Structure 1
Amino acid sequence: MIQLKTLLVDDEYSAIEGLRIRLEAFDEIDVIGSAQSVDEAINILNKHDVDLVFLDIEMPTKSGFELIKHFQPESCPAVIFVTAFHQHAVKAFEVRALDYLLKPVKLDRLAEAIDRVINTAKLNSKNELIEVQQSLVKNDPDEIAASANSDYKFEAENLVIQDAKNPIQIIPFKDILWIDAAGDYMCVHTLIETYVMRARLKDLEKNTLPEDFLRIHKSTIVNLSHIKQLNPLRNSEYMAVLDNEKNLKVSRTYSKNLKSLIKQ
């Protein structure tokens, strides 16, 4: 049986103990220590081999992202962020976190995250764990998000994001520039803010979004009304330039359809 040497990092002792208790249900997890700061975590990592880190983000002095900078490619543990805040999801997956859990952590979501480390990676060594962590960002986001529960609904002209921990957020469709996938989450971008919600890209594309929204990449949907220019690239691909000068790559699979809808 696989056993993952695991480090818990959170500035709140109660959060560490709560997670430790939940992890007792998983024989594959061997909690070798805990840290309440990034510097303390670095000290432990310098002394012990660690396969998996459950990592808080907002901590005094240094954030969880500062700990990521300390990792070396040849000894990089898998990372599962555990935080009370939605807004760090995009950056978390940019640094190749395996999962992003919201506090208070539910046991079923914790099980999903651990299964992702074990079953998807099919671990035999730490090197395989590193390879899987790096490859996850290349996978189809629809498959990565398959187990996510939606926390949104649609009104006539608005996207409504709702969950138990945050106020309801109402976003007019006309204000959305593009939507992209970040693991179990979808990031909804407007001119002034990025919203995060649990959803499947496939469901958004097929069932709910207005006709002005078009998929341009396996991980991206764009609002056609905000495209101001298409710049050709190699291999029949394009770069879509939005109103805010954001550049989004249009893959060859979707470029012909987009080109036919955009008049320049």
Structure 2
Amino acid sequence: MRVLIVDDEPLARARLAALLGECAGVEVVGSVSDAEAALDQLGDLQPDLLLLDINMPGMSGTALAQRLSGRKRPQVVFCTAYESHALQAFELGAVDYLLKPVRLERLHEALQRARQRLTQAPREAVSYLHGRLRGEQVRVALDDVVYLLAEEKYVVVQHRGGQLLLEESLRQLEEAYPDQLIRLHRNCLAPSQRLIGLKTLSDGRVLARLSGTELTPEVSRRNLPTLRRLLRMG
């Protein structure tokens, strides 16, 4: 099992790493100090499980878990000094809720539960993007997304029901959903299943044809080979 430790306290990260070293079948693939860094590295590290603190500078652990809700991987085990977030943690689908200082026996139990959930899940659940609409927190299924466009401080999500604003960068989203989102240009992502064709203009520029919209975003030369390969694969 590939485990990523996310905690803003260096001593807490070191203790968890030491405990995991006593657990068979576990590989610590990373140890980061905040949720944003964890989100950045999901694509590269491909962890099966996050050992996640809740109270951290910037994005909280519960906010990160909300971003990942509905996904088979990574599963989440919260590791915190406070009992007050337990109900919210399980509502977000956490495997377990460990109180600091984490005991080895409880860590074994949490790892076993995570293994069972990873093994038993028959298929990937629906993935959701969480953002803001007129000041309210809302979510949209990734299957309903048409494209994502970077504009100033936000990412605008165009979906079948309208638009949504996200605070994550395109890079964070691309790495969080590497099997579902493809990059068209430095400022544009789209779900891979939306790509239905490429159109070459007389000046040599290439546009992407996407299902569900008349918008034809420009494709950068860097990303063109990947898109052509994807279309050949059907």
**What TM-score, normalized by structure 2, do the two folds share?**
0.49
Larger relative contact order (CA 8 Å, sep ≥ 6): 2
So what's the TM-score if we normalise by structure 1? Answer: 0.44
